[in-house]
Amino acid sequence: MKKITNWISVLFCVFACSNLTAQVPTLETGGEKSLPPEWIDKDTGHRVKRLTRRDEASRSFYFHNNPFVKTPDGKGDLMVFYGSTDQGSQLFTVNLQTLEVKQLTHSPGRKSGEIVGDKRREVFYQMEDSVFATHIDRGTTRLVYVFQDDFKAGITTLNADETKLAGTWAAPEKQAILEKYPAKRDFFDRIFDANIPHTLFTVDIETGALEKIHTENTWLGHIQFSTTDPDMLMFCHEGPWHKVDRIWHIDIKTGKVQKIHERTVDREIAGHEFWSWDGKRIWYDLQIPRGETFFLAGYALKNGKKTRYQMTRNEWSIHFNISPDQKWFCGDGGNPTQVAKAPDGMWIYLFKPKGKKLKSERLVNMKHHDYSLEPNVHFSPDGKWIIFRANFEGESQVYAVEIQKNN
């Protein structure tokens, strides 16, 4: 009797699971402008779902800005994102388990910053000259800092113990160029060639004390505090990658500045750098030379040891990211106009290191996505999904693809 009962349970499970799978259609991703909430990508066999199930456009964070925080009970995960509203762009959370969406901010006006403090349970952002923090659970908002008239700057990152914000100030000449030449193809070289003074700074969140920590007559950007060391700040020299030594870090206590990558051949490029979760390595896109041989490279802060994983032209991605357990990587691919000139590179990728190379798996076909909106991939906190933004339904929304292949 016990065996019969067990077989009935097994058959019921098989039937229920088969029925569930049958309800998720297999479709060409982006083949139709109106997609169901979930589907199986017909080219990869992986399940894709829309996380931001709201009528207006939504945008996930830049690839190296961590958008995740635990739910109040600690049992699930929230992701912070930007969403369009009648009052302009606002910050929201989505519960990655239930897909419940909650609006955090309500004040009209442009917001920038994309900074989540998971210990403080606050999201930091800037509106014009003022920095605010909104509590993720309570919804209360406080003023953190106001920049003075002679130092109009922008915040970009929060340190590991959540005591300091950091960012960069630029002389007014930069804003004048941006206003005259708003398109990147027009302002990019002009700002680089102008040798405009830039200053890195920190702001103490509790006292409001601003400290200028480093100044150069060149374009500074991509500023990221270490994931674990509250005194280590990474920054880059912006501009054409083949003309700059891009990746640097500074100890904000001592002021010591160190270059991370040394060029070995003409037109070698390195960039789109990001921290490992344990703070021990900096990872970056490396091409030796530009547009010819492609690597995901790592630099160990302790001893300067370098790691290189080679990939093919089609596997190259605009941005890479690392899984929570630091075993895998993901990439958002690129269209033929990007630096790799890849003929078949429009995919969301999963990468697994194998020897000195990356073994790739294609997760989502992005051929219907306009790469003027960069997908900016993130691993979900449980490591089971890769989250990205896309416009294959006509406007920007946030999606997740399951790493485990649907059978």
Collect all residues with Cβ–Cβ distance below 8 Å to 340 and sequence separation of at least 6.
291, 294, 313, 314, 316, 334
Burial status of residue 242 (CB atoms within 10 A of its CB: 0-12, 13-18, 19 or more): middle
Q: Let me know: does 121 contact 137? Beta carbons within 8 Å.
A: yes
How distant, in Å, are the alpha carbons of 82, 96, 122 from that of 144? 20, 29, 12
Q: Which of left, alpha, beta for 353 (phi over 0: left; psi -120 to 50: alpha)?
A: beta
Task: Confirm whether 282 is domain-assigned.
Answer: yes
pLDDT surpassing 50 at residue 5? no
SS3 at position 132: strand
Write down the residue that tokens 């007559």 correspond to.
217
Task: Confirm whether 221 is domain-assigned.
Answer: no
Summary mean pLDDT of the chain: 94
Task: Return the amino acid letter for 208.
Answer: G
Task: Confirm whether 307 is domain-assigned.
Answer: yes
Task: Return the amino acid letter for 35.
Answer: L
Task: Confirm whether 292 is domain-assigned.
Answer: yes
How distant, in Å, are the alpha carbons of 34, 57, 274, 292, 313 from that of 378? 24, 19, 12, 26, 21
Q: Let me know: does 66 contact 114? Beta carbons within 8 Å.
A: no
Task: Confirm whether 392 is domain-assigned.
Answer: yes
Helices 172-180 & 184-193 angle (0-180, nearest 10): 150
Number of domains in the chain: 1
Task: Confirm whether 290 is domain-assigned.
Answer: yes
Task: Confirm whether 313 is domain-assigned.
Answer: yes
Range of the domain at 384: 37-50+276-407
How distant, in Å, are the alpha carbons of 169, 331, 358 from that of 375? 27, 9, 20
Handedness of CA 254, 307, 336, 345 (dihedral sign): negative
pLDDT surpassing 80 at residue 338? yes
The pLDDT value given to residue 33: 84
Q: What is the mean pLDDT of residues 176-184?
A: 95
Higher pLDDT, 21 or 220: 220
pLDDT, tens digit, 9 for 90 and up, residues 46-92: 999 999 999 999 999 999 999 999 999 999 999 999 999 999 999 99
Structure-block tokens of residue 402: 């399951």
Write a three-state SS string for 324-386. CCCCCEEECCCCCCCCCCCCCCCEEEEEEEECCEEEEEEEEECCCCCCCCCCCCEECCCCCEE
Q: What is the mean pLDDT of residues 157-163?
A: 98
Q: What is the mean pLDDT of residues 202-227?
A: 97
Structure-block tokens of residue 155: 């915040």
Strands (E), 46-129: 47-50, 58-59, 68-70, 77-85, 88-95, 101-103, 112-117, 122-127
Higher pLDDT, 4 or 275: 275
Which of 104, 99, 102, 87 lies closest to 52, judged by CA? Answer: 99
Q: How confident is the model at residue 245 (pLDDT cuts 50, 70, 90)?
A: very high
The pLDDT value given to residue 22: 57
pLDDT surpassing 50 at residue 17? no
How distant, in Å, are the alpha carbons of 183, 217, 269, 330 from that of 295? 29, 30, 11, 13
CATH of the domain at 375: 2.130.10.10
Residue 159 gets which letter from DSSP? -
Structure-block tokens of residue 227: 């994931």
Task: Confirm whether 404 is domain-assigned.
Answer: yes
| 46-69 exposure pattern, b = at least 16 Cβ within 10 A, e = fewer | bbbbbbbeeeebbbbbebbbbbbb
